[in-house]
Structure 1
Amino acid sequence: MRLKNLFLALLVIAGSLNTVAQEKAEFKPSGKVDGKVFFNYHYDMTDGTQKESSFEIQRAYFGYKYHISKDFTASVIFDVGHNEAGSDYTAYLKKAQLDWKMSPVVKLSLGMIGLEQFSDQEKFWGYRYIMKSFADQYGFGSSADLGVKANIKITDNLYANAFVINGEGYKKIQDEDGKQKFGADLVFKNKALIAKFYADANTATIVEEGGNEKDVTVSALAAFIGYQFCDHFRMGAEYNQLINGKKYSSAAEDHDLEGLSVYSTYTVNKKVEIFGRYDYLTSNKLDGETEKWNLSKNGSAITTGIQYAPAKGVKMAFNYQGFMNKDSSIEDKSLLFVNFEFKF
C-alpha cells in the first residue's frame, strides 16, 4: 500500500512538473520589425500661391516590438519627418516604451510612451495618412512624451487611463522648470458606440512684460463620441478646448483655443471608402482687443475624398482639402491631394 501511495504521489509530482514545463514552453520571446510611410502629391489651387504642386513624404515610421515575457513588452519607434529648425527630414525617437501587464485589469507603460489624448479619435477617423486628428492638427497635445501611464480596465466596456509626463512632447526634452503634466481619460466602448472624456493640466512659468515670473496652468479638455450605424456607415464628433496656451507646450495666460471636428465614412466595399470631415477652430478676445488673438489661424476646414485599398498594407486616396479663414484679408486655401500609405 505504501509503495502504491508513493507511486501515485510521484505521478502527481511528475504531472505537475510536466504541466509547469508545458506552460513555460508555451511562451517564446519574439520580436517584429514594422514600418509605415505617408506619401502624397498635391496641387494647390489657392489664388496667388507660388508653390503650385509638390511630391512629399510627410512621415516615415520605423519600429521594433519585442515580447520579453507574457507580462513585459518593449517597443521602439523612430519618426522621420520635417524639422522646423530647417532640415527636411530628421529622425526623432517617437517611442521607447516598456509595457508591464501587472494584472488582467492594469497595464503600466513607461519611457517615451504613446499618449491617449486623441488616439481613439484618430483610430475612428481612420485617415491619419491624409490628416491628423483635430487635437494633433491644431496643437492641443502631443502623440507621445516621456513619462508613465496606467491603463485600467474598470468593466468589459469601461476603461480609464492616467498619466504623468514631462509635457513638452517627444521632440523636446524637459524644460528648465522641471514641472510635469498630469492627466486622465475615461473611455466607454461597445460594438457600435465609443465615448470619451479627457482632461490634463500642466503648470509652466512665464515672464510678464514687467519682467516678473508667474506660474500659469495650461489645460486641455476633450469630449468625443463615435457611432457605427451599420456595417457601411460610421460617424464621429469631438470638442476640444485649450486653456491658457497658444499651444499645449506654450503657456500664455488668458489665451484660449477651442474647436469642433465632425467626420464620417461610408464603406462601399472592402476596398473602397468615401469620407468627409469638417473642422472649426476659434479663439477668445483678450482684454482691450477688438479681434480674437488667433484670428490669422481661426477658421473652418473641409476634407473629403475617396479611398482605395488594393492590398493589405497599401491605401491610396484622392481628396480635396480646403480652409476658410475667419480673417477676410487672408486668402482661403484650396488643394487637391493624392495620398498614399504603405506599411510592412
Structure 2
Amino acid sequence: MRLLKMILAIVFLMTVPLLAFDFDIDDAGDLVEALSKLKVEGKGYFYYKYDVSDNNSQSNSFDFGRMYFGANYRLSNQFSIRYLTDFSQQGNTSKFKVFPKYAYVDWKIKDGLSLIMGLQGTNNWKEPENAWGYRSIYYAPLEAFGKFWEVTAMTYASHLSYLYQGNQSEDYERQKNRYRNFNEASKSGMGSSADMGVTAKYNFCDDYYANLSVINGSGYKERENDIYKNVQLRVGSHQINKRLHLSGYVELEPWSGSSLTGDRQQYMNVQWDMMASFKRNGIFSVGVDLNGKKFDGIETINAFCYSIFGNFHIFQEQLLFLARYDNYSTGIDHAEFFDYDQVWWTNGGLLILGLDYKPHKNISIIPNLQMKSYDNQEYRNKIIYIHLSFGF
C-alpha cells in the first residue's frame, strides 16, 4: 500500500505542469498541444547477485537498485521545467525512500547559453558516467572512488577518536581537534550527483562547452549545513566528428573548522577530474578517467584514482562485451597521525567484466563479474551479477 501511494504521488507530480495552463478541456487540439510539450521519463535497475568471494561471506539475492520517474515540460522556446524522483534503498537497510532529484527551471537566454536554477545535476561525474555508459551496473569512476574512500575515511576517523578518548594528557585537546577537523574536511566525500544551486551552460559552438555552477555542496538528500558554497567548472570538447570527447573538471569546496589549537580556521578542498573517450558507433567505445581530491585541513590528504573502461560490439547493437578497471589510492596509507608510525594498507581496485544483451533498445540484460581488491586483504570480493535495466 505504501508503494502504491508513492507511485500515485509521483504520477500526480508528473501531471502538475498540465494544470498550470489554461486550455479548454473540450478542445482536443489544446490538450494535444499541451501533451506534446510534456516528456515523461523513467529508469529502473534490478539485479540478481551471487557472492562467490573466497571468504565466508558467500550469499545470493534478488534486489532492487533504484528507479527514476519524472517529466520535462516545455513552457516556451525559452523556458522549460523538469522534475525527477529518485526511488531507492537507503544503504544496507530494507527501507526505501523517495527523494526529489531534479526540480529546476531551464532558461535558454540565447543560442548556446542557458541558465539552470533549482535542484539539478552537478558537474562532477556526469560526463564520465555517460562515457562509461553503464551506471545501471556500477557508479561512474569518481563516484565509485568516493564510495570506496568514505569507508576508509570512517575507519581513520574512528582511529583518531580512539586516540583522544580517555586520554587526559597535555595533548588531549590537540588530538580532539584533529579528529573534529578531519570529520569536517571529509564530510562531503567526493560530492553528490545533484544539488541546489545555479548553473550557467555555454556552448561556444558544436564542439566546445563550459558549465559553471554555484551549489550548496551538501547534496540533494541533505539540507545546506554551512555558509559556504561550492564552485564547479566543467569544460570539454568534441572532436573528430564527435568521436573524441575531452573533458576536465575542477571544484572548490571552502569550509571552516578547528585548527590544532582549537581556533576556527578556513580551509579549501579541491576536487578534479580529467577524461578522454573515443567511440565508433556500432563498433566500440573506450575511455580513461583520472580524478582526485585534496582534502585540506590540519592534515592534508590527497586521494587519487584512475579508471580505464570500454565496450565492444560483438553482434551489431544487440550484444556487447564491456570491461573496466579502477585503481584507488586513498591518500590515507601514510597519514601523519598513527601510533608507532604504522602504515595502513587502505588502497584497492575494481575489475568489471560483462556482456550487455539488448533485446530492445531500451532494455539491457547484463551478466557481469565484479571483483574488488583491498591491499589489507588477501582475498578479493567477487560477485556475479545479472542486471536488468530499462528506460523510457
Q: CA deviation at 1:207?
A: 3.0
* Whole-angstrom CA distance in 2 between matches of 1:85 and 1:137: 17
Counterpart of 1:273 in structure 2 is: 320
Structure 1 residues 171 and 49, CA gap change in structure 2 (3 angstroms): farther
Does structure 1 residue 300 correspond to structure 2 residue 346? no
Q: Indicate if the aligned counterparts of 1:216 and 1:253 stay in contact, CA closer than 8 A.
A: no
Equivalent in 75, 78, 81 of residue 85 of structure 2: 78
Q: Alignment partner of 1:135: what SS?
A: helix
Q: CA deviation at 1:288?
A: 5.2
Q: CA deviation at 1:209?
A: 5.8
1:116-174: CA deviation from partner (whole Å, max 9, x where unpaired): 22111111111110001011122223211000001101132110010100011111110
Counterpart of 2:303 in structure 1 is: 257
Equivalent in 213, 228, 241 of residue 264 of structure 2: 213
Counterpart of 1:242 in structure 2 is: 293
Structure 1 residues 46 and 209, CA gap change in structure 2 (3 angstroms): farther
Structure 1 residues 170 and 85, CA gap change in structure 2 (3 angstroms): farther
Counterpart of 1:39 in structure 2 is: 46
4+ aligned runs moved over 6 Å, structure 1 = none
Q: Alignment partner of 1:259: what SS?
A: strand
Structure 1 residues 57 and 252, CA gap change in structure 2 (3 angstroms): farther
Matches within 5 A, 1:175-186: 175=225, 177-186=226-235
Residue 128 of structure 1 aligns to which amino acid in structure 2?
A: R
1:87-142: CA deviation from partner (whole Å, max 9, x where unpaired): 52111111101101100020110100112221111111111100010111222232
Does structure 1 residue 313 correspond to structure 2 residue 362? yes
Structure 2 gaps of 5+ residues are: 1-32, 147-189
Residue 139 of structure 2 aligns to which amino acid in structure 1?
A: K
* Whole-angstrom CA distance in 2 between matches of 1:49 and 1:340: 27
Q: CA deviation at 1:217?
A: 1.1
* Whole-angstrom CA distance in 2 between matches of 1:230 and 1:314: 18
Q: CA deviation at 1:32?
A: 2.4
Counterpart of 1:127 in structure 2 is: 134
Matches within 5 A, 1:48-127: 48-50=55-57, 52-84=59-91, 86=93, 88-127=95-134
Counterpart of 1:22 in structure 2 is: none
Matches within 5 A, 1:137-156: 137-139=144-146, 140-156=190-206
Q: Alignment partner of 1:256: what SS?
A: strand
Structure 1 residues 51 and 159, CA gap change in structure 2 (3 angstroms): same
Q: CA deviation at 1:178?
A: 1.7
Report the aligned-residue RMSD: 2.2
Q: CA deviation at 1:50?
A: 3.7
Equivalent in 161, 166, 187 of residue 211 of structure 2: 161
Structure 1 gaps of 5+ residues are: 1-26, 246-250
* Aligned residue pair count: 310
* Whole-angstrom CA distance in 2 between matches of 1:60 and 1:205: 36
Q: Indicate if the aligned counterparts of 1:164 and 1:183 stay in contact, CA closer than 8 A.
A: yes
Matches within 5 A, 1:5-20: none
- Per the normalisation by structure 1, the TM-score is 0.84
Q: State the structure with more CA Rg.
A: 1
Q: Indicate if the aligned counterparts of 2:122 and 2:193 stay in contact, CA closer than 8 A.
A: yes
Percent identity of paired positions between Structure 1 and Structure 2:
25
Q: Indicate if the aligned counterparts of 2:145 and 2:305 stay in contact, CA closer than 8 A.
A: no
Structure 1 residues 96 and 51, CA gap change in structure 2 (3 angstroms): farther
Counterpart of 1:17 in structure 2 is: none
Q: CA deviation at 1:84?
A: 4.0
Q: Alignment partner of 1:138: what SS?
A: helix
